[in-house]
Amino acid sequence: MTAAHIPERARGRRRRAGRRATVPLTVVSALVATAALAGCGQQRDDDVYTVLNSSTDDSYHGWDAATLSRCSKRLGITIEQQSVPAAQVMTKSLRMASSKSLPDVIQFDASEMPTFAEAGGLIDLRTLGLSTQDIPRGIVDFGSYKGTYYGAARTVNTLALFYNKDTLKKAGLEVPTTWAEMRQSAKKLTKGKQYGIALSAGGAEDGVFQFTPFMWSNGGDESHLASKQVAQALDYWKSLIKDGSLSKSTVNWTQADVNDQFMAGNAAMMINGPWQVETLNTKKNLDWGIARIPVPKAGDDSVGPLGGAVLTVPKTGDTAREKTAAKIIDCMAGEKEQITYARNSWMVPANEKAAAVWRKEVPELDALADQVATARSRTAKVGARWSSVSLALQSAFQSALTGQSSEAALQRAQQRATSGK
- By the criterion CB under 8 A, which residues form the site for other proteins? 9, 12-13, 16-18, 20-25, 27-29, 32, 87, 90-91, 94-95, 97-98, 115-116, 118-121, 193, 195, 202-204, 247-252, 261, 264, 266, 315, 387-388, 391, 394-395, 398-399, 401-404, 409, 416, 419-420
| Residue placing its CB nearer to other proteins in the complex, 375 or 393 | 393
Q: How far is the CB of 29 from other proteins (least distance, A)?
A: 7
For residue 21, which amino acid is it? Answer: A
CB 351 within 8 A of CB 335: yes
Q: How far is the CB of 421 from other proteins (least distance, A)?
A: 11
Q: How far is the CB of 349 from other proteins (least distance, A)?
A: 30
| Residue placing its CB nearer to other proteins in the complex, 90 or 309 | 90
| Residue placing its CB nearer to other proteins in the complex, 37 or 264 | 264
| Residue placing its CB nearer to other proteins in the complex, 149 or 386 | 386
Q: How far is the CB of 170 from other proteins (least distance, A)?
A: 21
Q: How far is the CB of 115 from other proteins (least distance, A)?
A: 6
Q: What's the CA gap between 259 and 247, in Å, rounded?
A: 14
| Residue placing its CB nearer to other proteins in the complex, 118 or 181 | 118
Q: How far is the CB of 262 from other proteins (least distance, A)?
A: 12
| Residue placing its CB nearer to other proteins in the complex, 56 or 69 | 56
- Measured from the Cβ of residue 257, the count of other Cβ atoms closer than 10 Å reads 16
| Residue placing its CB nearer to other proteins in the complex, 21 or 320 | 21
| Residue placing its CB nearer to other proteins in the complex, 116 or 162 | 116
Q: How far is the CB of 103 from other proteins (least distance, A)?
A: 15
Q: What's the CA gap between 316 and 128, in Å, rounded?
A: 14
Q: What's the CA gap between 257 and 250, in Å, rounded?
A: 9
Q: How far is the CB of 410 from other proteins (least distance, A)?
A: 13
Strands 160-164 and 348-349: unpaired
Q: What's the CA gap between 96 and 42, in Å, rounded?
A: 10
| Residue placing its CB nearer to other proteins in the complex, 127 or 415 | 415
| Residue placing its CB nearer to other proteins in the complex, 369 or 417 | 417
Pick from 379, 77, 366: which is nearest to 209 by CA? 379
Q: How far is the CB of 111 from other proteins (least distance, A)?
A: 11
Q: How far is the CB of 204 from other proteins (least distance, A)?
A: 5
